[in-house]
Amino acid sequence: MQSQMGEVSHSADGHIMEIFHAIQGEGIYVGVQQIFLRLYRCNLRCAWCDTPESFHLTGKGEREDPPGSRIFHTFENPISIERTIEFLTPFFSLPHHSISLTGGEPLVQSPFLQKLLPILKEKKEVIFLETGGTLPDPLKPLLPFLDIISMDIKLPSSAEEKPLWDKHEEFLKLAAERNAYVKIVLTKDTAEEEILQALSLVKKVSRTIPVILQPVTPIYTLLPPTETQLLTWHYKALKLLQDVRVIPQTHKLIGQH
Ligand code: SF4
């Protein structure tokens, strides 16, 4: 699904919201330090979204300078590849596991990333993509440059999105060529049959793809599943797939945005 704001850009210049250094707070790589490149725009509107400010281009971005200081300076968008590399370079001297492309939905700016990622790979950087997992065509040209793909499966009852099963399946088949895992956000109102449908979709591609069940961090009126719901869903998931883990968002526990 692509709203007008989320249509895939054809521009080779980027719209970057933030560049900063932080600790990964979700999924399998929780706890590692990363350089975050947060891009504007998203093709989805998830009910629990905590970065709605990424939806609309403002013409301004922010970069942390010095890296790791939490002191931010604004810059103008759109931004060229050269300037992006100039802003990223000071971060390379800090300890980091990888560069996280996040958003918003980074794949909305696939043409920009097609120019940027080969340069980052020449610098031996590990590239980690965080994605909603619904834009397979923009993913294809980036696959050779991606090391890790963290892909969401959005459940219709909790994401308040229309069903995206076909797009997710097409996407996961491509992502599975790399080191990929799936993240599913759960609320207390999540429909169990949708969780099982998502797990079956993963199983169809490969039983060994890791899946993270992520209880929603309370936001707006959304509440996480109960302990009983989580235990039950986790048990059922482990009957279908080899590696399913329950991991909540941890960056919010340590006060990191
Ligand atoms: S995909 Fe991510 S950025 Fe986009 S609406 Fe959903 S949670 Fe927000």
CA 187 / ligand 1 centre spacing (Å): 16
Stretch 132-155: mean pLDDT, rounded? 97
Mind listing the pLDDT tens digit for each residue in 86-104? 999 999 999 999 999 999 9
What structural domains does the chain harbor? 11-44+51-246 (3.20.20.70)
Query: Does ligand 1 have an atom closer than 6 angstroms to the CB of 44?
Result: yes
Q: What percent of the chain has pLDDT over 90?
A: 84
Q: Mean pLDDT lowest for which of 34-43, 98-107, 174-183, 244-253? A: 244-253
Q: Angle between the 192-205 and 165-175 helix axes, to the nearest 10 degrees?
A: 30
Q: Which amino acid is at 41?
A: R
28, 45, 76, 91, 204 from 50: Cα distances, Å: 20, 10, 23, 25, 31
Mapped onto helix, strand or coil, the DSSP state of residue 113 is helix
39, 143, 168, 177, 211 from 173: Cα distances, Å: 24, 12, 9, 7, 15
| Atom from ligand 1 closest to the CA of residue 104 | 3
CA 55 / ligand 1 centre spacing (Å): 9
Query: Does ligand 1 have an atom closer than 6 angstroms to the CB of 133?
Result: no
40, 143, 172, 212 from 110: Cα distances, Å: 12, 11, 17, 25
Residue recorded with tokens 């939905």:
105
Residue 148's DSSP bridge partners are: 128, 179
H and E: helices and strands count for the chain = 7, 10
Asked if residue 3 lies in contact with residue 43, where contact means CB atoms within 8 angstroms, the answer is yes
pTM reported for the whole predicted model: 0.95
* DSSP, residue by residue, 169-196: HHHHHHHTTSEEEEEEEE-TT--HHHHH
CA 134 / ligand 1 centre spacing (Å): 11
Residue 245's DSSP bridge partners are: 212
* DSSP, residue by residue, 48-106: T-S-GGGSS--SEEEEESSTTS--EEEEESSB-HHHHHHHHGGGGGS--SEEEEESS-G
Which among 206, 27, 51 is positioned nearest to 128, based on CA atoms?
27
Nearest CA to ligand 1 atom 8: 49
10 vs 168: which has the higher pLDDT: 168
Write phi, then psi, for 195 (nearest 5 degrees).
-60, -45
Residue recorded with tokens 């619904």:
134
How sure is the predictor about 2, in pLDDT bands with cuts at 50, 70 and 90?
Answer: very low
pLDDT at 18: 97
Mind listing the pLDDT tens digit for each residue in 48-80? 898 999 999 889 999 999 999 999 999 999 999
pLDDT at 158: 67
Mind listing the pLDDT tens digit for each residue in 9-47? 777 899 999 999 999 999 999 999 999 999 999 999 998
